[in-house]
Amino acid sequence: MRIHVTLYSEFKTFAPGGTGSFDLDLPPGASLGHCFDCLNIPENSGHTALVNGRRAGLDTLLRQGDHLVVFPLICGG
C-alpha cells in the first residue's frame, strides 16, 4: 500500500532525500510504529503524529492513501 508522508522540522532528516513530503510504500496492515521503523524514527522521539488529520498512536493501522504528518512536540509558556 502507498501512503503520503509529511515530516516537519527535525523529522525531515528521516525523509528519503531530505525532502519533507513523499510517498511511502508499506505492506498491507502496517501500523504507524512499522512506518516509524521503516523511516528509522525513534519511537520515543517526542513527536505528534496525525493520520488524515487525527491524532494517531504507534498502534494505529494505516490504509492505502492515508496522509501521515509528523512534527515535534511544541512547548510554550
Report which residue type is found at 55: R
Here the CATH number for the domain that contains residue 22 is 3.10.20.30
Does some domain include residue 39?
yes
List, in order, residues 6 or more apart from 77 with CB less than 8 Å away.
none
When pLDDT is cut at 50, 70 and 90, the band that residue 77 belongs to is low
Q: Give the 3-state secondary structure of residue 26.
A: coil
Residue 53: its pLDDT value, please? 97
Answer whether 41's CB lies under 8 Å from 11's CB: yes
Does some domain include residue 17?
yes
Residue 17: its pLDDT value, please? 80
pLDDT digits (tens, 9 = 90+) for 9-59: 889 999 988 788 999 999 999 999 999 999 999 988 889 999 999 999 999
Does some domain include residue 77?
no
Answer whether 45's CB lies under 8 Å from 19's CB: no
